[in-house]
Structure 1
Amino acid sequence: MVESRRFEAVVDGRVAGFAEYIRGEGLVVFPHTEVDTAFEGRGVGSALARAALDDAKGRGAAVLATCPFIAGWMRRHPEYLELAYQNRSSVSD
Protein backbone atom coordinates (compact mmCIF):
# COMPACT_ATOMS: atom_id res chain seq x y z
CA MET A 1 0.00 0.00 0.00
CA VAL A 2 1.26 3.47 -0.90
CA GLU A 3 0.05 6.52 0.99
CA SER A 4 0.35 10.02 -0.48
CA ARG A 5 -0.15 12.95 1.87
CA ARG A 6 1.47 16.09 3.16
CA PHE A 7 2.75 17.68 6.34
CA GLU A 8 1.41 21.19 6.90
CA ALA A 9 2.77 24.11 8.89
CA VAL A 10 -0.02 26.30 10.23
CA VAL A 11 0.69 29.82 11.51
CA ASP A 12 -2.14 31.90 12.98
CA GLY A 13 -4.72 29.50 11.54
CA ARG A 14 -3.30 29.75 8.02
CA VAL A 15 -1.38 27.07 6.10
CA ALA A 16 2.08 28.62 5.83
CA GLY A 17 3.65 25.72 3.98
CA PHE A 18 3.55 22.02 3.24
CA ALA A 19 5.81 19.09 2.46
CA GLU A 20 4.25 16.39 0.30
CA TYR A 21 5.20 12.78 0.87
CA ILE A 22 4.53 9.33 -0.54
CA ARG A 23 4.91 6.58 2.01
CA GLY A 24 5.46 2.95 1.14
CA GLU A 25 6.82 -0.08 2.97
CA GLY A 26 10.03 1.12 4.63
CA LEU A 27 10.40 4.17 2.37
CA VAL A 28 9.18 7.77 2.34
CA VAL A 29 9.56 9.90 -0.79
CA PHE A 30 9.46 13.71 -0.45
CA PRO A 31 8.71 15.11 -3.93
CA HIS A 32 7.72 18.70 -3.12
CA THR A 33 7.87 21.32 -0.38
CA GLU A 34 6.34 24.76 -0.62
CA VAL A 35 6.24 27.77 1.73
CA ASP A 36 3.83 30.67 1.21
CA THR A 37 5.85 33.77 0.29
CA ALA A 38 4.31 35.64 3.24
CA PHE A 39 6.07 33.20 5.58
CA GLU A 40 9.45 32.84 3.84
CA GLY A 41 12.50 33.42 6.01
CA ARG A 42 10.64 32.53 9.20
CA GLY A 43 11.82 28.92 9.56
CA VAL A 44 8.64 27.33 8.22
CA GLY A 45 10.49 25.19 5.68
CA SER A 46 13.00 24.04 8.29
CA ALA A 47 10.23 23.14 10.71
CA LEU A 48 8.49 21.14 7.99
CA ALA A 49 11.69 19.32 7.03
CA ARG A 50 12.54 18.47 10.64
CA ALA A 51 9.02 17.22 11.44
CA ALA A 52 8.81 15.16 8.25
CA LEU A 53 12.25 13.60 8.71
CA ASP A 54 11.67 12.94 12.41
CA ASP A 55 8.47 11.13 11.44
CA ALA A 56 10.36 8.99 8.91
CA LYS A 57 13.05 8.26 11.48
CA GLY A 58 10.45 7.22 14.04
CA ARG A 59 8.99 4.79 11.52
CA GLY A 60 12.42 3.38 10.68
CA ALA A 61 11.89 4.37 7.04
CA ALA A 62 14.50 5.34 4.49
CA VAL A 63 14.04 8.74 2.84
CA LEU A 64 14.21 9.49 -0.86
CA ALA A 65 14.26 13.28 -1.12
CA THR A 66 13.50 14.21 -4.72
CA CYS A 67 12.46 17.65 -3.47
CA PRO A 68 15.51 19.95 -3.73
CA PHE A 69 14.58 21.72 -0.49
CA ILE A 70 14.40 18.55 1.62
CA ALA A 71 17.55 17.13 -0.02
CA GLY A 72 19.44 20.37 0.66
CA TRP A 73 18.15 20.56 4.22
CA MET A 74 19.40 17.03 4.86
CA ARG A 75 22.86 17.95 3.52
CA ARG A 76 22.98 20.96 5.87
CA HIS A 77 21.92 18.77 8.81
CA PRO A 78 24.18 15.71 8.61
CA GLU A 79 22.48 14.09 11.59
CA TYR A 80 19.66 13.26 9.14
CA LEU A 81 21.84 11.83 6.36
CA GLU A 82 21.59 8.33 7.82
CA LEU A 83 17.95 8.36 6.69
CA ALA A 84 18.83 8.89 3.03
CA TYR A 85 17.85 5.93 0.87
CA GLN A 86 21.17 6.02 -0.94
CA ASN A 87 23.04 5.79 2.39
CA ARG A 88 21.19 2.71 3.62
CA SER A 89 22.93 -0.65 3.41
CA SER A 90 21.27 -3.28 1.29
CA VAL A 91 19.38 -5.76 3.45
CA SER A 92 19.42 -8.54 0.88
CA ASP A 93 22.63 -10.21 -0.27
Structure 2
Amino acid sequence: MADTTVTRNENESRYDVHVDGELAGFALYEIDGDRAAFTHTEIFETYQGGGIAGTLAGEALADTASRGLTIVPVCPYIARYLDRHEVEGATVAPPR
Protein backbone atom coordinates (compact mmCIF):
# COMPACT_ATOMS: atom_id res chain seq x y z
CA MET A 1 0.00 0.00 0.00
CA ALA A 2 1.28 3.45 -0.93
CA ASP A 3 2.17 6.04 1.71
CA THR A 4 0.06 9.14 0.93
CA THR A 5 0.61 12.46 2.71
CA VAL A 6 -1.00 15.88 2.30
CA THR A 7 0.85 19.04 3.34
CA ARG A 8 0.04 22.75 3.23
CA ASN A 9 2.55 24.55 1.02
CA GLU A 10 2.02 28.19 2.00
CA ASN A 11 4.83 29.46 -0.27
CA GLU A 12 2.93 28.15 -3.31
CA SER A 13 -0.61 28.74 -1.90
CA ARG A 14 -1.53 25.12 -2.34
CA TYR A 15 -1.90 21.77 -0.65
CA ASP A 16 0.45 19.12 -2.01
CA VAL A 17 -0.24 15.39 -2.04
CA HIS A 18 2.72 13.02 -2.09
CA VAL A 19 2.61 9.29 -2.79
CA ASP A 20 5.64 7.38 -1.51
CA GLY A 21 7.51 10.68 -1.27
CA GLU A 22 6.74 11.81 -4.84
CA LEU A 23 4.56 14.83 -5.62
CA ALA A 24 1.34 13.41 -7.08
CA GLY A 25 -0.79 16.55 -7.33
CA PHE A 26 -1.99 19.70 -5.64
CA ALA A 27 -4.97 21.92 -4.79
CA LEU A 28 -4.48 25.64 -5.29
CA TYR A 29 -6.12 28.15 -2.97
CA GLU A 30 -6.28 31.92 -2.53
CA ILE A 31 -6.74 33.51 0.90
CA ASP A 32 -8.83 36.69 1.10
CA GLY A 33 -9.39 37.74 4.71
CA ASP A 34 -11.16 34.82 6.38
CA ARG A 35 -11.99 33.06 3.10
CA ALA A 36 -10.01 30.35 1.30
CA ALA A 37 -11.03 29.98 -2.33
CA PHE A 38 -10.00 26.64 -3.81
CA THR A 39 -9.37 27.44 -7.47
CA HIS A 40 -7.84 24.33 -9.06
CA THR A 41 -7.14 20.71 -8.20
CA GLU A 42 -4.78 18.56 -10.24
CA ILE A 43 -3.60 14.98 -9.88
CA PHE A 44 -0.77 14.00 -12.19
CA GLU A 45 -1.67 11.36 -14.79
CA THR A 46 0.45 8.60 -13.24
CA TYR A 47 -1.58 8.85 -10.01
CA GLN A 48 -5.09 9.30 -11.38
CA GLY A 49 -7.81 6.80 -10.56
CA GLY A 50 -6.47 5.72 -7.19
CA GLY A 51 -8.50 7.96 -4.90
CA ILE A 52 -5.63 10.43 -4.42
CA ALA A 53 -7.80 13.44 -5.31
CA GLY A 54 -10.33 12.52 -2.62
CA THR A 55 -7.59 12.18 -0.03
CA LEU A 56 -6.14 15.53 -1.06
CA ALA A 57 -9.51 17.29 -0.97
CA GLY A 58 -10.56 15.77 2.34
CA GLU A 59 -7.37 16.63 4.18
CA ALA A 60 -7.00 20.09 2.61
CA LEU A 61 -10.59 21.02 3.45
CA ALA A 62 -10.33 19.63 6.99
CA ASP A 63 -7.17 21.67 7.58
CA THR A 64 -8.81 24.80 6.16
CA ALA A 65 -11.87 24.33 8.38
CA SER A 66 -9.67 23.77 11.45
CA ARG A 67 -8.02 27.13 10.78
CA GLY A 68 -11.43 28.86 10.94
CA LEU A 69 -11.44 29.84 7.28
CA THR A 70 -14.57 29.83 5.13
CA ILE A 71 -14.19 27.47 2.17
CA VAL A 72 -15.11 28.88 -1.24
CA PRO A 73 -15.29 26.05 -3.81
CA VAL A 74 -14.36 27.68 -7.13
CA CYS A 75 -12.78 24.44 -8.41
CA PRO A 76 -15.43 22.02 -9.73
CA TYR A 77 -13.75 19.01 -8.08
CA ILE A 78 -13.77 20.68 -4.65
CA ALA A 79 -17.41 21.70 -5.14
CA ARG A 80 -18.38 18.09 -5.98
CA TYR A 81 -16.40 16.78 -3.02
CA LEU A 82 -18.27 19.12 -0.68
CA ASP A 83 -21.61 18.05 -2.17
CA ARG A 84 -20.79 14.40 -1.42
CA HIS A 85 -18.81 14.58 1.86
CA GLU A 86 -19.22 16.20 5.24
CA VAL A 87 -16.20 18.18 6.42
CA GLU A 88 -16.38 18.61 10.18
CA GLY A 89 -16.51 22.25 11.26
CA ALA A 90 -16.49 23.58 7.69
CA THR A 91 -18.21 26.78 6.71
CA VAL A 92 -18.78 26.92 2.95
CA ALA A 93 -19.69 29.99 0.93
CA PRO A 94 -20.50 30.29 -2.78
CA PRO A 95 -17.96 31.98 -5.04
CA ARG A 96 -18.50 35.72 -5.43
TM-score normalised according to structure 2 size:
0.77
Return the structure number with greater strand share: 2
Give CA-to-partner distance per residue, 1:9-51, whole Å, 9 cap, x none.
1112211110001112211000000001111111110111011
**Which residue of 1 is the match for residue 60 of structure 2?**
52
Query: What is the alpha-carbon root mean square deviation over aligned residues?
Result: 1.9
Distance 1:15 1:4 in 2: 14
For the pair shown, the structure with the greater C-alpha radius of gyration is: 1
Partner of residue 37 from structure 1, selected from 15, 27, 45:
45
CA distance in 2, matches of 1:80, 1:14: 26
Counting helix residues as a fraction of each chain, which structure ranks higher? 1
Gaps of 5+ in 2: 1-10
1:83 corresponds in structure 2 to: 91
Equivalent pairs counted in the alignment come to 83
Aligned residues with identical type, % of pairs: 35
Which structure 1 residue ranges, 5 or more long, are not aligned? 87-93
Which stretches of structure 1, 4 residues or more, deviate above 6 A after TM superposition? Answer: none
Give the TM-score of the pair, scaled to structure 1.
Answer: 0.79
